[in-house]
Structure 1
C-alpha cells in the first residue's frame, strides 16, 4: 500500500427509505472507483452534493458549497470499529472520500487538498444528527461522536474535476490555528470557541454569521 496521504476509497449514494420507515436518506454510500466533483451552489436551490450522481437526503441541512464533499479518515473509522466492536467499511459514515494519512480533526479551515486535478478546501466539521445515529444503530451515538470530536471534514470545491481511488492528497496548510475541532466545539455550544471562530478571518462569512447569531441569542 502507498505510504503517502491518499484516497483509499470513494463512495456515492442515492436516496432510499430506511427499513423501519421515515425520511429518505442517502447516507448509505456505495463504493465507486471514481467520481466527478463540481461546485454545487447554495444549499437552498443549488445542486445538492458536490459529487456528481450523489444525492442528499435532507437538503435543508446538507449539501451546498460549504458541504460539497464529505471526507473521513480511515484511521478514525478503525478507532470507532474498536469502540463498537464491529467493522466499519469505507463509506460507512456516509463519507464521499475516505483517506489514509490525512490529518482531519486538526485540519485548518481554508486548508487546500490537491487530489489529482481537483482542489478541495476544508470548510468545517460534520455535526452528528439523528439520521447518522439511526444509520449506526449504536446507543448514545450522537453524544459519543460529539465527545470524541473525530468529525471528519466538509470540503468545498475550488477546482472541479475527477477524483480517482488511490489518488495522492497534497495538503497546503494556511498560517493560522483555526481548525476543524475548534469549529465543532463552537457548533456544539462552546461559547469561547464560538467567539474565536466569529473573530477568525479564514472562516466563511456564512459560518461566522451563524455562530454570531448563536452568541447573540445566548447573550454572549
Structure 2
C-alpha cells in the first residue's frame, strides 16, 4: 500500500460507562468516541482512554486496538447502515489495510519520520461486552463468522496521532501467523501442534502466547498414546 491509501480516519478514546450484560450492569471503556485533535500515545495506549477489564484488555502488549475502513465497509454492507467511528471499540480507525491479513510482528509507522510506531501482536476476540455495546445478543456469533477481528498492537515508539496521519505498513516475517490464523485458532477444536509451535517463535501478546501454549499442551496430550 502507498501512503495515500493508508491513513488514520479517526482516533477514539473511551470513558468508563455502564453496559447491561444479562441481568446485571457492568462498567466498560468500550464506548469510544472520536477526538477532534491529536492524542498522545504511550506504551500503555492512548491518553484519556480507560480500560476497565484489565484481565482481558489493555497492557503494553495490547495497548492500541485498530480496525479498518475496509472492515467497516463489510459490516455496513452486511447490516445495511452506516456505522460511526468507534462502533467496534477501536482506538484507531485506519484505511488501506485488511485486518485479518496483518501478521504478528508487522509494524505500522504513523505520522511520518519520528512518529508513532506500532507492532501487531494479537486479534480481538469478541465477548458479551461487545454484543451489549452494539445492542445485539447474537453479535459475537456474527463477529466470529465474519472473521474480521481487527488487531491489537504494542507501542514501539510513542508520540501523537490524529486524523489524516499517514500509515506506513512495514511487513515482518512472512512465516508469522496472521491475525486471521490466530483468530481461527480460538475456535479450532483440533489445532495442528506443529503450527502452534511455530507461532511461539513470534512476538505474540502475552495473553495470546498463554493461549497458544495451553492449546499446544492439549494437542500434545491428545496425541500421546
- TM norm. shorter chain > 0.5: yes
CA displacement at 1:139 relative to structure 2: 4.5
- The counterpart of 1:88, out of the listed 64, 69, 83, is 83
Give the conservation status (yes or no) of the 8 Å contact 2:122–2:204. no
Which is higher, the Rg of structure 1 or of structure 2?
Answer: 2
C-alpha RMSD of matched pairs (Å) = 2.0
TM-score normalised by length of structure 1: 0.87
Report whether the alignment pairs 1:58 with 2:53.
yes
Structure 2: state its 5+ residue gaps. none
Distance 2:78 2:203 in 1: 32
CA displacement at 1:102 relative to structure 2: 1.9
Q: How many residues align?
A: 210
- For residue 165 of structure 1, what is the aligned residue in structure 2? 163
- For residue 8 of structure 1, what is the aligned residue in structure 2? 9
Give deviations 1:156-201, integer Å, cap 9, x for gaps.
1000111111100001001324210001111223543675143231
- For residue 181 of structure 1, what is the aligned residue in structure 2? 180
- The counterpart of 1:34, out of the listed 34, 38, 43, is 38
CA displacement at 1:204 relative to structure 2: 2.6
Q: Which structure has more strand as a fraction of its residues?
A: 2
Give the conservation status (yes or no) of the 8 Å contact 1:182–1:193. no
Distance 2:172 2:82 in 1: 35
- The counterpart of 2:97, out of the listed 93, 102, 109, is 102
Report whether the alignment pairs 1:156 with 2:154.
yes
TM-score normalised by length of structure 2: 0.86
Give the conservation status (yes or no) of the 8 Å contact 2:110–2:116. yes
Give deviations 1:70-117, integer Å, cap 9, x for gaps.
000012112112212332111111000001112321001100000021
Distance 2:125 2:131 in 1: 11
CA displacement at 1:205 relative to structure 2: 7.4
**Residues 6, 87 of structure 1: alpha-carbon distance in 2 compared, 3 angstrom cutoff:** same
Which of structures 1 and 2 has the larger relative contact order (alpha carbons within 8 angstroms, sep 6+)?
A: 2
Structure 1: state its 5+ residue gaps. 41-49
